[in-house]
Amino acid sequence: FFLFPSEEHNPPGPTAPDPPGTPRPPLVEGQKRPPDDTMASYPNVELKTSCGTFVIELYHKHAPKACQNFLELAKRGYYNGIIFHRVIKNFMIQGGDPTGTGRGGNSIWGKPFEDELTPKLKHTGAGILSMANSGRNTNGSQFFITLAPTPWLDGKHTIFGRVRKGMQVVQRIGLVKTNKNDRPHEEVKIYQAYPVFP
């Protein structure tokens, strides 16, 4: 089980809304709750890394299960201490594997979950958040963020968000020195990942 195998640096790809009545995350003191009928009612996810902090906006409407999975894993502290184990300049950064090997990680359901593919979302540029996988319907906890347009990944990987703030941090991660297996020489670590309201 190896997500996103190397292929001449033009690889094939990195390796449901909450049900009614689901409790919503608490507000920060002084923060107002946005209306339920807006996407702003969903939290973003902030990632504090060894290279800086960036914020992810999740696409709950188009990929509800992937968003629920990512958000819940962040709430549980699952991503805390995990590294970006794969970085390819001008392509993508990949993380989310607690083993740091590119072969591990589980979803909140304890098993792989299905793809949520839509022609409305494409890998059109830098900052796109997608699920890494090892084939159809094999999503777990691993994800990648694009550093450039990657149209060959369209229809193969579930897009479920974008970098809302701190893209310069993602770009900084994309410039770290790596070995022949695209693994950073110095660890790039996620110190904390947690939900925040926009």
Please identify every residue annotated as catalytic.
Answer: 86, 91, 94, 133, 144, 153, 157
Alpha-carbon distance of 13 to 15, in angstroms, equals: 6
Token code pair at residue 23: 């409790």
Edge-to-edge strand list for the sheet holding 92-95: 84-88, 92-95, 143-146, 128-131, 159-165, 52-58, 44-49, 190-196
Alpha-carbon distance of 168 to 84, in angstroms, equals: 16
Alpha-carbon distance of 43 to 188, in angstroms, equals: 25
The backbone region for 190, taken as left when phi is positive above 0, alpha when psi lies in -120 to 50, beta otherwise, is: beta
Tokens 């996407």 appear where? 39
Tokens 């060959």 appear where? 152
